[in-house]
Homo-oligomer: A and B are copies of this chain.
Amino acid sequence: ELRETITALLAPQATELSGKHIVITAGPTREAIDPVRYLSNHSSGKMGFALAAAAQRMGAQVTLIAGPVNLATPAGVLRVDVVSAAEMHTAALQAVENADIFIGCAAVADYRPEQVADNKIKKSNDGMQITLVRNPDILADVAALKKAPFTIGFAAETNDVAHYAQDKLARKKLNMIAANDVSDTSIGFNSEDNAMVLFWREANNTVQQQALARASKSAIAQQILQQAAKLLSNNQ
């Protein structure tokens, strides 16, 4: 009986997400300067992996595109490992072809070094200049597709969180954005907990918001997916 209870708890649930294909990016990307050095972003990948696990539990078919992280693949999830933003861009655009929802949770490096040295750059006594160029914008490119999935972005900000989040929602033509204040070390980055504000555009073009109080990343993930499922069914 206990075994049946556990099996039932672990088995995918029949929800609004049953059978939907959800593509999630997670973790940081690394942009090589040379074979030894790289540029990166703080990101443990925990939020994206929590979303993948929750989506799978809610009955979705999940593709998880992960940057370099130290996390186990959630059961039943298809994982694609990548390193750089360019690799993540390619993997994401390929994966979303028949996706219903795309969640860009990765902390993608906005910039990469213009040149990657084949050999380790020897240090000199002087300073050093690195010229960076913009990486492709995965979220904006997915949202701009003719058959774009319901696209959810994340905004990790240290200041003016609501302002930057709503700007990103509009500018990248996202369906929803989840914003959090990473200057609060009790949430975000390597923390087990998170607290977020969701912003989305209604059919009448007004922006609505919903605050998700501090909770485990797993609980936050479920609330984000429930809200997405609601909006997705309204859209259809």
Contact surface of A with B, Cβ cutoff 8 Å = 33-42, 70, 107, 109-111, 114, 118-120, 122-123, 125-134, 156-159, 164, 182-183
Contacts and interface: CB of A to CB of B under 8 A. Distances in A.
Contacts of A109: 37
A132 B125 CA distance: 11
Contacts of A70: 70
A183 B36 CA distance: 9
Contact of A35 (B119, B134, B164, B182): B182
A contact patch SS: loop
Contact of A123 (B40, B110, B127, B128): B110
Nearest to A111: B128
A127 B37 CA distance: 19
A182 to B, nearest CB: 7
Contacts of A125: 134
Contacts of A128: 111, 131-132
Contacts of A183: 35
B119 A127 contact: no
Given A39-B40, A120-B158, 11 more contacts: A33-B39, A35-B42, A36-B158, A37-B41, A37-B42, A37-B109, A38-B39, A38-B41, A120-B182, A127-B131, A129-B132
